[in-house]
Chain A
Amino acid sequence: MKSFTYERARTPADAVASAAQTQGAKFIAGGTNLLDLMKLEIEAPTHLIDVNGLAFDKIEATPDGGLRIGALVRNTDLAADVRVRRDYPLLSRALVAGASGQLRNKATTAGNLLQRTRCPYFYDTNIHATNASPAAAAPPSAASPAIMPFWV
Chain B
Amino acid sequence: MERPTDSKGPRSTNSDVTRRELLAVTALTGGAFILGEQLLPGAISPAAAQGSEAGPAPLDLALRVNGTEHRLALDPRTTLLDALREHLHFTGTKKGCDHGQCGACTVIVNGRRINSCLTLAVMHEADSITTIEGLGTSENPHPMQAAFVKHDGYQCGYCTPGQICSAVAVLDEIKAGIPSHVSADLMAQPELTDVELRERMSGNICRCAAYSNIIDAITEVAGRKA
Contacts from A to B (Cβ < 8 Å): 1-6, 28, 31-32, 35-36, 39, 48, 50, 52, 76, 79-80, 82, 85-86, 89, 92-93, 96-97, 99-103, 105-106
Measured between C-beta atoms, what is the minimum distance from B47 to chain A in Å?
A: 12
B39 at the interface (CB under 8 A from A): no
Question: Which residues of chain B in 53-96 are interfacial with respect to chain A, using CB atoms and an 8 Å cutoff?
Answer: 53-56, 59, 75-77, 79
- Given A80-B178, A80-B179, A101-B170, are A31 and B186 also a contact pair (CB < 8 Å)? no
Residue of A nearest to B126 (CB): A53
B99 at the interface (CB under 8 A from A): yes
Number of interface residues of B (CB under 8 A): 42
A105, B112: Cα distance in complex, Å: 7
Give me 6 A-to-B residue pairs in the complex whose CB atoms sit less than 8 angstroms apart, sorted by A's number.
Answer: A4-B77, A31-B120, A76-B173, A86-B187, A102-B100, A103-B203
Give the contacting residue for B202; candidates A52, A85, A100, A105; CB below 8 A: A100
B218 neighbours in A (Cβ, 8 Å): none
Question: Which residues of chain B in 177-207 are interfacial with respect to chain A, using CB atoms and an 8 Å cutoff?
Answer: 177-181, 183, 186-187, 200, 202-204
Sample of 13 more A-B contacts, CB < 8 Å, known A48-B76, A52-B123, A105-B113? A4-B77, A5-B56, A35-B79, A79-B179, A80-B179, A82-B187, A96-B179, A96-B180, A101-B113, A101-B169, A101-B200, A102-B114, A102-B203
B132 at the interface (CB under 8 A from A): no
A72, B76: Cα distance in complex, Å: 22
Measured between C-beta atoms, what is the minimum distance from A26 to chain B in Å?
A: 13
A5, B77: Cα distance in complex, Å: 9
